[in-house]
Amino acid sequence: MDSVLIVSNTSSTLGIISDLLNSQSFSRIVTSQNCGEARRSLIQDSYDLIIIDSPLSDESGEDFALYAAEQTDSGIIYIIDNERLYDVSSEVEDAGVFVLPKPVSPEFFYQAVKLLIASRKRVHYLENENLKLQRKIEEIRLIDRAKCILIQYLQMTEPQAHKYIEKQAMNLRQSRVQMAESILKTYER
């Protein structure tokens, strides 16, 4: 993780959180003292981690946390008074917002940040795997469409069409996908 947006209307809290995060590997820490300023920051830039310290002066911290969860893929930590913890948790946790009670000890905060970083890395890994699988499915569909064209127009069987695509791809030093695209361009007009 590289960048953090801290939203708090208290300068002392901004300083404390910034100091705690400086000990970790964050290259850029941006601070905002209200939600309007933070929303503008989100429009202009993206952040790996957003930390919201409530209460905020211009709007509900819950509303901003939900907005940030909907508009970004950032990890979000929402720090709230202990009395409101359970009510707010039920509102924002389904959106993926990590809720911490005030006062939060430096050790607990550090562990929460580490947990969020680890979970974000895992989510990004799974998203990349999902993209790879989607690309593979699209390739298979494209090749299958080309096989169907060969079966329809050249009266090949499915194994013959498969072997034809592989052999032509090898002979022309192309991928099977490129060969399938070429077949589709030839026969689908």
Q: What is the pLDDT of residues 109-162, one digit of tens each?
A: 888 888 888 888 898 899 999 999 999 999 999 999 999 999 999 999 999 999
* C-alpha to C-alpha distance for 102 and 54, rounded to whole angstroms: 9
The pLDDT score that the predictor gives to residue 29 is: 84
The pLDDT score that the predictor gives to residue 1 is: 56
pLDDT tens digits in sequence order for the chain, 189 residues long: 578 888 888 877 777 787 777 767 777 888 888 888 888 988 988 888 899 988 888 887 888 889 988 988 888 999 888 788 888 888 888 888 888 888 888 888 888 888 888 888 898 899 999 999 999 999 999 999 999 999 999 999 999 999 999 999 999 999 999 999 999 999 887
For the chain, give the secondary structure using H, E and C.
CCEEEEECCCHHHHHHHHHHHHCCCCCEEEEECCHHHHHHHHHHCCCCEEEEECCCCCCCHHHHHHHHHHHCCCEEEEEEEHHHHHHHHHHHHHHCEEEEEECCCHHHHHHHHHHHHHHHHHHHHHHHHHHHHHHHHHHHHHHHHHHHHHHHHHCCCHHHHHHHHHHHHHHCCCCHHHHHHHHHHHHCC
* C-alpha to C-alpha distance for 97 and 76, rounded to whole angstroms: 5
